[in-house]
Amino acid sequence: MSRALAMSDVAARAGVSHQTVSRVVNGHPHVAPQTRERVERAIRELGYRPNTAARALVTGSTRTFGFVTVTINQYGPAQTLVGLEQAARSAGYSLSVTVLDEATAEAMHDAVDRFAAQSVDAVLALATYDDAAEALHLVSTPVPLVTVQSGGAVEEPAVGVDQVTGARLATRHLLDLGHRTVHHVAGPADSKEARDRIAGWQAELCAAGACAPGYPRGDWTPSSGYAAGRELAARRRAGEEVTAVFLANDQMALGLLAALHEEGLEAPRDVSVVGFDDLPEAPYFTPPLTTVRQDFAELGRRAVQLVLARLRGEDLRLEPVPPALLVRSSTGPAPVTAVPAHGRPSSC
């Protein structure tokens, strides 16, 4: 039986010392570029895999981040996890994931304790819902803690996508098409992301001197978007001017489009529709959905950047990740019949 490869084998192939190989493997900065390249080439040629347990004993680092979240069944949280894993891997770290059934302080504390037992270097937490954010404030961690997709307290390092700006982009797009106001279908009341999107929608309407109609709430699912679509269609039949709708996510937009179709209303002929997230399926909706894209890869990169800064003892503050509006076929000019010559929208 052949023995396992060791650092000495890499050192012999690269023509350097065992200590130099150790420095390269452990990411030590003081290695000449040509030497680092020679060692990395020898590692690839030999197929050498460092012993992570032994490396942890030497460096005090497992090169692992812990990630704790309460939900992963929606597109946003799932893609946040993907972005974090990719960014961690690029930085030479792995990601250990814990998905909680409930966001209590006890559950968060247990998760952090498990990560501590694994000797993770830092903990990242998805804190989009109020209960998760509140629980995190009650938990002390022996390693740096960074929250993701949360506003974060003043003393708490956090990264996220600029939800307010994303909502303003969606609302401004519809106003620029001639719609005199924009209806909104909001996410859950306990979601900070949903509240930020409401705030952005209201702020853009206010800046334009337009009214903010009453809004139904959904739970991120297509079925809740369908129910909201039925409600808005009924309000339209009752005389309310409903020509443009901005929904807090694409899945609810899918349900709303189905409800409008059943009511004999089509997008964008009768009602323009904008979503949020840019699901992979969004270009294949009927019609293709105009939406706001969140850059989850960049979110993961900034989260890892913030964690690494904390590990170095640096107080780094990062700007929110900017969103982008993707215009497709679900939005168009306001119907001429919906724009009277004078007066405010009938929904005010």
Please spell the DSSP secondary structure of 267-300, one letter per residue.
TTTT-EEE-SB--TTGGGSSSPPBEEE--HHHHH
Cis peptide before 144 (omega within 30 of 0): no
pLDDT of 25 strictly over 80: no
Q: Is 54 exposed, middle or buried (0-12, 13-18, 19+ CB in 10 A)?
A: exposed
Distance CA 183, CA 144 (A): 41
- 339-to-180, 246, 258, 334 alpha-carbon distances in Å: 8, 19, 25, 8
Provide mean pLDDT across the span 229-253: 97
Helical ranges in the chain per DSSP H: 7-14, 18-25, 33-46, 52-59, 75-90, 105-117, 130-137, 163-176, 192-207, 222-237, 250-262, 296-311
Q: Which domains does the chain have, with CATH numbers?
A: 7-59 (1.10.260.40), 64-159+296-321 (3.40.50.2300), 163-290+327-338 (3.40.50.2300)
- For the record, the structure tokens of 105 come out as 């302080």
**Torsion over CA: 245, 250, 255, 257 (sign):** positive
Highest mean pLDDT among 107-121, 153-167, 290-304: 290-304
What integer pLDDT is reported at residue 54 of this predicted model? 52
pLDDT of 213 strictly over 80: yes
Q: Which of 283, 270, 267 is nearest to 326 (CA)?
A: 283
Q: Which of 164, 162, 191 is nearest to 103 (CA)?
A: 191
Could you tell me what percent of the chain has a pLDDT over 70? 89
pLDDT of 342 strictly over 50: no
What integer pLDDT is reported at residue 150 of this predicted model? 62
For 109, phi then psi, to 5°, come to -60, -45
Provide mean pLDDT across the span 174-194: 96
pLDDT of 256 strictly over 70: yes
What integer pLDDT is reported at residue 347 of this predicted model? 44
pLDDT band for position 240 (cuts 50, 70, 90)? very high
Least confident of 147-156, 234-243, 274-283: 147-156
286-301 per-position pLDDT tens digit: 999 999 999 998 998 9
What integer pLDDT is reported at residue 47 of this predicted model? 79
What integer pLDDT is reported at residue 328 of this predicted model? 98
Q: Which of 181, 124, 125 is nearest to 334 (CA)?
A: 181
Provide mean pLDDT across the span 230-241: 97
Distance CA 157, CA 215 (A): 32
pTM recorded for the entire structure: 0.79
3-state secondary structure of 97: strand
Residues 6+ apart with CB under 8 A from 143: 115, 116, 120, 121, 122, 123
pLDDT of 8 strictly over 90: no
Q: Which amino acid is at 220?
A: W
pLDDT of 325 strictly over 70: yes
Higher pLDDT: 262 or 148? It is 262
